[in-house]
Amino acid sequence: MVWANTRKDYEEKPKGEDEEEEEEDEENPKPKVMWPKVLTDNDFHRRTPSAKFDAWKTLETLCLSLNSKNNLSAYVVCAGILYGSGEHVLHDMFKAAWLSQQSHRIIGPGNNYIPMVHVRDVARLVKHLAEDTFPECPEYLMCVDHSSTTQAEVVQGIVNHVCDPYAVQHIAPAEAITAEDVDVLTLDLRFQPSECIYQPEMDAEIAEDMPTPLFTWWSKNGLLANMDVVASEFCRWRNLRPIRTLLCGPPASGKSFLSGKVAECFNVPHITVKAVVEEYMADFHMWQDVEGELKGGQYEITKEFKESLEEAPPPARLDSKWLSAFFQHKLSSNVCKYRGFVLDGYPRTYADAEALFMQKIPTEGEDEEDEVQKELNTAICRIR
């Protein structure tokens, strides 16, 4: 935030490979996409803070002035917006996504760039500075990851990965004036990491000839590229454990009533055979309108099953292998993965349980006569 009001220069954003292949329409040319020029640690004299962090800049200047003393080395580490290990700035976003609350908002168009870095990478840099392992190091260091991520990508990425995806609503900046961390989310800056930790992408042959870097990144490519790890860290540090429950019993035993109460108490999905079949059967009717392809490529059902749908309408009672396929996909959803579920009356038999919770171990050179080896499907039954 010490750089929040720094004067920025903008340049045209390079086009991606897909955009270069597309021919521009001469009558309606696409507008140029601009983004801020990259700032480096050599630009630290230009930094202009927001009013809230004016005292912070003064503290940095006083710290750097200590280098005039003999036998004393002082460094200032300017870190991007921190994420990971339980979250701080992004805590409310992850919490709302974990609770499946559609309260996320994107301030303005959301095309502003937010410099970010994992908290572990900052800690590792500080450790290297304390141990004096870098041969040459500037006194002012930029500690940001190698990503260039916009506000909209951050918010939508958290929503798409932790809860059921939905299109996040945009709001005007004036509507977010009372929101926390609004100054952080509206930053529009791009930084290059300091040379001692900067590791640009290069060809494999060139990389082999380069010496082993002293600094090892934990999240070099940014939040979106490591969302699985960051979401798992959030759950672990906040002690958020999924509740996975199965209630079985004979008809009229009251299992549906009890499972509904358990799901309501722990705020997890109540999954019944009827609800799952109705949901997926409705989707099958829509799949027939897209020339036999699956809707949006969401469900990984075998070619055999798709061909059977084209020959005849879905049966009233599904075969157990298709039912287990539906439940596997349902239990692999973001909500079930992070919050858990309550299964009501399924699986009914040992074979159903094996088909649902076990998966085949891939082996090379496997013969048909050999016994198939299986293991627990960790996508559904994670062991902590």
Domain boundaries, the chain: 10-237, 243-376
What mean pLDDT is predicted for residues 325-352? Answer: 88
Out of 3.40.720, 3.30.70, 3.40.50, 3.90.70, select the CATH number for domain 10-237. 3.40.50
Q: What angle do CA 33, 38, 44 make, to 5 degrees?
A: 145
Percentage, residues of the chain above pLDDT 90:
44
Q: How many CA atoms lie within 13 A of 360 on its CB side?
A: 7
d(CA 31, CA 150): 18
Percentage, residues of the chain above pLDDT 70:
79
34-84, pLDDT tens digit by residue? 899 999 999 999 999 998 899 999 999 999 999 998 888 899 999 999 999
8-state DSSP, 339: T
Q: Give the amino acid at 152.
A: A
315-330, pLDDT tens digit by residue? 556 667 778 878 888 8
d(CA 113, CA 204): 29
The alpha carbons of the chain give a radius of gyration, in whole angstroms, of: 26
Average pLDDT value for the chain: 82
Task: Tell me the pTM.
Answer: 0.82
Are the folds of 10-237 and 243-376 the same?
Answer: yes
261-312, pLDDT tens digit by residue? 999 999 999 999 888 877 777 765 534 433 333 344 444 455 555 555 555 5
Query: Looking at 51-60, 188-197, 208-217, which range is the least confident one?
Result: 208-217
CATH T-level topology, domain 243-376: Rossmann fold (3.40.50)
What mean pLDDT is predicted for residues 167-177? Answer: 90
Above 90 in pLDDT, residue 143? yes
